[in-house]
Amino acid sequence: IEEYITQANSHLRSGSRVFCEWRAVCTPNTAPGVVKVDTGTSYRSYYFTADFINDEGMAVAFTRNNEICVEVPVKKDIYRRTRANDVREFNAKVSLTNFQRDPWDDASSVGFLCLDAVKADDLDYYIHSRSSRRNFMYYIKLFKRLSAVLRTEEVQEMPYRQKLIRALVDGNIGTKANRAEIVDKTVITWRADKKGQPLSEGIDNEKSWKALLGMMDLIAWRGLSHKEAAVEMAISRGSKPLRLIVTTNARLALYVTPTAEERDDRVEKHKWAMLLTFKMSAKGLTLDSSKPALLSKNSVCETTLYEWPEANEWKGLKSVFSSFHEKQRAFEYIETGKEDLRKLSPANPSEFEAGVREWMTAYCEMNDYRKTGGQVQQPRLMIPVGIYINRGDWQYIYVTTESEAAGYFYHNSSERLKKELYQEYVSRFAHPEGKLERLETRGNRLALGMTNRTPDIGMFCADRNVEMDSVNYGPLSYSAYSQLQRIENRLFFVLAEAERGLHRRIYIADNLKSDNGEFIIDKLLGSSHLQVQSAVDVFEVILPKSLSEGPLPVIKSSGEIYRIHHWFDICPKGAEANISLSNIEAPVNKVTRHSFDSREAAIMHILMQKETVKKSVSGDRSNTPEGVVERWY
């Protein structure tokens, strides 16, 4: 029985007819609008905020945010102080994609059942088959109710099915033995595609009637008669045939493997086959259209005439993108970030000023024409540079700012622009006192963030509800990661962490790489976000951890054992070699000097040696001697 239910639900798609047991299928994950997590001691761990008008019912599935959903009618009591109480009825959205059977729930619950490929005869077979029964009292009652519904539909459809059979007889199509099966396949496919519309609408509508006749003709014999011609067309384009089908608009179509030019393996392996749709004429087959399409394991919206063994490699593949075209649009979008990155560089005065003007426009829009919640809102800088995927989700990777974008532009503007930007900035505050200091103390750091949203005013987002996720930079502490000023250095650790996971991938836009594959993001930024840095030396110090390695190090001033055994000191260029141990007595030690052109390069070297190190913020704890600029351990 579990196998049968799984097989039936595998046909679920937008437009499917679905039977639902609302109390079983509605959870905080599937219907957050009417089900809330219970923080008390409820055994279900959640509670309903509205009552179901019916405990079970039929619904037509639809797609919303890449999820298959249905709507459940509910009612809710509205209590008022000054007026009579009322009952509000509305439809709540339920995501069937997010539904999972609760192993602690009563096993006698189907949750939902897709009826597209379910027949009354199948349900009656279970009712009378002792060998296949499980939790039989529940399923017998359920299947009797569903069988009655399906039988009623069959009775209503009988005159129309007879009309289709007569059309087959008049056209001398099929045999007496298989005509009923041809009609059955045609009706199932047509109803699934038409979102459960009654067959009477297809018979009475001239266009649908012709489509039904054409489908029956193709299913009966004509489709397979063109099989060889369809295969030849697939081979001629460099593809292998996968599955020959009949579509609901009475067209013969063939799934084939994509050619090398049609594949797109960026960020994830290509998942889409190519669907070739043909026109038939007296001269034979001609190609009408071709498009990328996922090859489903089961789909009642198309009738399979023949399937090749190679189809198994493509069946049931899923992409994080809702369609091939969405993937193409996403990659086209991240290519647009290159021009916006130039607007952050003061080395390009005209482009930088254009960036400031965009910020002013977004700032005005956000605070003058949109809801602010009683606070001055700040536009969020969002320049796309890449795509991040993690299991079934994907997001854009953006260059943004660690604090308000206004601070970044203020730090890098000319005196003229600074005055103009400041006047615009303080104009929305009721009390402008102290806002100049606020601007001047805002960080000049750029950062990386992720979201699936896109900016709505140039390179800025004026939607105050948009939140950005932090990128995952692995075992590094934030205190270490935040010291990196170069975007490319931050990206190094983000990419390394993504490579550690089986389901995580990152792709950076091709136009942000040089011919030899190196990133040019910081070059485009003109290093405007980098502080002026001078050459430094790094001393790597290794001391004994235990007596077996030698005498333990002690602090000269107190005689206490020094508990740090491996650290890095950043010192001015040319510092004395013994500066790191000037206040420590360590007979056994290993000190290695490394020279770098900048503090940033020194920090990268340290983090490459040991990712878990962090910068010391307490000189007393690490006993950092004078002359050492920073100690990392």
> Which position has the higher pLDDT, 125 or 359?
359
The single residue listed with the structure tokens 């539909």 is: 153
Are residue 94 and residue 111 in the same domain, yes or no? yes
Are residue 587 and residue 446 in the same domain, yes or no? no
Phi and psi torsions of 268, nearest 5°: -155, 155
Please state the domain count of the chain.
4
In contact, 400 and 525? CB cutoff 8 Å: no
Q: What are the Cα distances from residue 356, in Å, to 344, 421, 435, 439? A: 9, 8, 18, 14
Can you tell me the distance from the alpha carbon of 63 to that of 13, in angstroms, rounded to the nearest whole number? 8
Interval 558-570: pLDDT, tens: 888 998 999 999 9
Can you tell me the distance from the alpha carbon of 93 to that of 30, in angstroms, rounded to the nearest whole number? 8
Q: Which of 284, 319, 354 is the last residue before a domain boundary? A: 319
Q: Is 461 part of a structural domain of the chain? A: yes
pLDDT at 105: 56
The single residue listed with the structure tokens 């008669």 is: 225
**Band of residue 102 on the pLDDT scale cut at 50, 70, 90:** low
Residue spans of alpha helices (H) in 456-598: 478-481, 487-500, 521-525
> Which position has the higher pLDDT, 502 or 232?
232
Are residue 315 and residue 331 in the same domain, yes or no? no
Q: Is 559 part of a structural domain of the chain? A: yes
**Band of residue 522 on the pLDDT scale cut at 50, 70, 90:** very high
Q: Which of 412, 443, 430 has the alpha carbon at shortest distance from 421?
A: 412
Can you tell me the distance from the alpha carbon of 189 to that of 300, in angstroms, rounded to the nearest whole number? 5
Are residue 302 and residue 449 in the same domain, yes or no? no
pLDDT at 521: 94
Q: Is 215 part of a structural domain of the chain? A: no
Query: Does residue 197 have a pLDDT over 70?
Result: yes
Are residue 498 and residue 551 in the same domain, yes or no? no
Are residue 519 and residue 547 in the same domain, yes or no? no
> Of 102-106, 260-264, 507-511, 624-628, which range is least confident?
102-106
Can you tell me the distance from the alpha carbon of 320 to that of 441, in angstroms, rounded to the nearest whole number? 41
Q: Where are the beta strands (DSSP E) in 509-580?
A: 536-542, 554-555, 566-572
pLDDT at 139: 83
Can you tell me the distance from the alpha carbon of 310 to that of 549, in angstroms, rounded to the nearest whole number? 62
Q: Is 64 part of a structural domain of the chain? A: yes
Interval 33-89: pLDDT, tens: 999 888 766 555 788 999 999 999 999 998 887 789 999 999 998 887 777 778 889
Are residue 310 and residue 377 in the same domain, yes or no? no
Question: Maximum distance among all alpha carbons in the chain?
Answer: 109
Q: Is 350 part of a structural domain of the chain? A: yes
Are residue 338 and residue 469 in the same domain, yes or no? yes
Q: Which of 289, 319, 349 is the last residue before a domain boundary? A: 319
Are residue 493 and residue 610 in the same domain, yes or no? no
Query: Does residue 135 have a pLDDT over 70?
Result: no
Are residue 340 and residue 288 in the same domain, yes or no? no
Q: Is 252 part of a structural domain of the chain? A: yes
Interval 315-324: pLDDT, tens: 989 999 999 9
Q: How would you class 40 by CB atoms within 10 Å of its CB: exposed for 0-12, middle for 13-18, buried for 19 or more? A: exposed
Are residue 231 and residue 340 in the same domain, yes or no? no
Can you tell me the distance from the alpha carbon of 238 to that of 256, in angstroms, rounded to the nearest whole number? 10
Q: Is 202 part of a structural domain of the chain? A: no
Query: Does residue 530 have a pLDDT over 70?
Result: no
pLDDT at 200: 84
Can you tell me the distance from the alpha carbon of 600 to that of 485, in angstroms, rounded to the nearest whole number? 7
Domain that includes residue 83, residue range: 1-118
Which residues in 414-423 are b (16+ Cβ under 10 Å) and which e?
A: eeebbebbbe
Interval 205-238: pLDDT, tens: 888 889 899 999 999 999 999 999 999 999 999 9
Strands 566-572 and 536-542: antiparallel
Q: Is 114 part of a structural domain of the chain? A: yes
- Tell me the whole-structure pTM to 2 decimals: 0.84
At 128 the three-state DSSP class reads: helix
Average pLDDT, the chain: 89
